[in-house]
Structure 1
Amino acid sequence: MSVPELKTKYVFSLAIQVGKPVVAGDLGYGTRRVIPVLGGTVTGEGVNGAIHQGGADFQIIRPDGFTELEAKYTFELDGGAVIYIANYGIRFGPKEALDRIARGEIVDPRLIYFRSVPKFETAHPDYRWLMQNLFIGVGARHPDRVELAVHQVL
């Protein structure tokens, strides 16, 4: 008996507008930051919509710059489907590049390993497939937004 080959398929992109980080401080094992979600867009083949204001990315930044991400927010597709997303991920790279991100500077996304596992919830019957599959996100952090390409694991 053989195991199926792992494949992925691009589904859509999220451009998430973010606000200024709220820093709760050093917890002894890392710094807690909360990044507010201000809105944004969802674009893809047959999947387009707007990210709602509200929600946030709850982060722990370790002393070496390794960042644990936990973003929770909603978006609405053009046909009216409301989708909740809980997106768990990690971001890491060279210290100099991570320091520049922390200062709100532009950094080449190819320097940073930014991957996530988004989980979706919706009551809309046309998008229940989002709850019945696994997805991987490939991200890039910019001073005013996070860009995330979402790929379905086949």
Structure 2
Amino acid sequence: MTPTLETKYVFTITAHIGNVTSAGDIGTGVRRIIPIVGGEVKGTINGKVLPFGADFQIIRPNELIELEAKYAFETDDGATVYVENKGLRFGPVDLLQKLKRGEPVDPKLIYFRTVPKFETGHEKYRWLMEHIFVASAARHADRVVIDVHQVM
């Protein structure tokens, strides 16, 4: 018998975002690049999202959005943690189009889940590289809020 999967909330990343750049329809969907311009980390780890990086998205014809964000945060005690966060956002087409226009949408109506991966050379935070994490996220006009959970 295998161990039961359980998750434990560890922290929330709030990534502030800039204006969307689109590379247009690339044949498999519309490529969008959304800069990450700062933010904060609160919970088991506290710190600030560094003002660089981006979310590289492909919006499929049915509005299924594949996301791949790459950025970093600095903990309150000075460690730098690189983040690579891949996921999916999907929901009713009219609500996803409202989100694209920057209009508010109830996050409970949108499926937005990710799998963040962390890298750091700081000994205190090596545990981030030794576990799998999953996250539930919400997109707002100027930020993305990501609740990160450790798979136990």
Equivalent position to 2:103, from 102, 105, 111: 105
CA shift, 1:100, in A, is 0.3
CA shift, 1:27, in A, is 1.1
Residue aligning to 2:122: 124
Unaligned ranges ≥5, structure 2: none
* CA–CA distance in structure 2, aligned partners of residues 29 and 73 of structure 1: 25
Residue aligning to 2:26: 27
Residue aligning to 1:115: 113
The 3-state SS of whatever aligns with 1:55 is strand
Q: How does 1:1-154 map to 2 (within 5 A)?
A: 2-45=1-44, 47-154=45-152
* CA–CA distance in structure 2, aligned partners of residues 63 and 104 of structure 1: 20
The 3-state SS of whatever aligns with 1:138 is strand
CA shift, 1:102, in A, is 1.0
* CA–CA distance in structure 1, aligned partners of residues 74 and 86 of structure 2: 20
CA shift, 1:42, in A, is 0.2
* CA–CA distance in structure 2, aligned partners of residues 147 and 110 of structure 1: 13
Unaligned ranges ≥5, structure 1: none
The 3-state SS of whatever aligns with 1:29 is coil
CA shift, 1:29, in A, is 1.8
Output one character per residue of 1:21-66: Cα deviation in whole Å (capped at 9) or x when no partner.
Answer: 0010011220000000000000003x11000001000000011100
CA shift, 1:104, in A, is 1.0
TM-score normalised by the chain length of structure 2: 0.99
The one-letter amino acid paired with 2:69 is: A
**Root-mean-square deviation (CA), in Å?**
0.5
* CA–CA distance in structure 2, aligned partners of residues 88 and 95 of structure 1: 21
* CA–CA distance in structure 2, aligned partners of residues 39 and 106 of structure 1: 21
* CA–CA distance in structure 1, aligned partners of residues 18 and 75 of structure 2: 22
* CA–CA distance in structure 1, aligned partners of residues 39 and 28 of structure 2: 32
The 3-state SS of whatever aligns with 2:52 is coil
Q: After the TM superposition, which segments of 4 or more aligned residues of structure 1 sit over 3 Å from their partners?
A: none
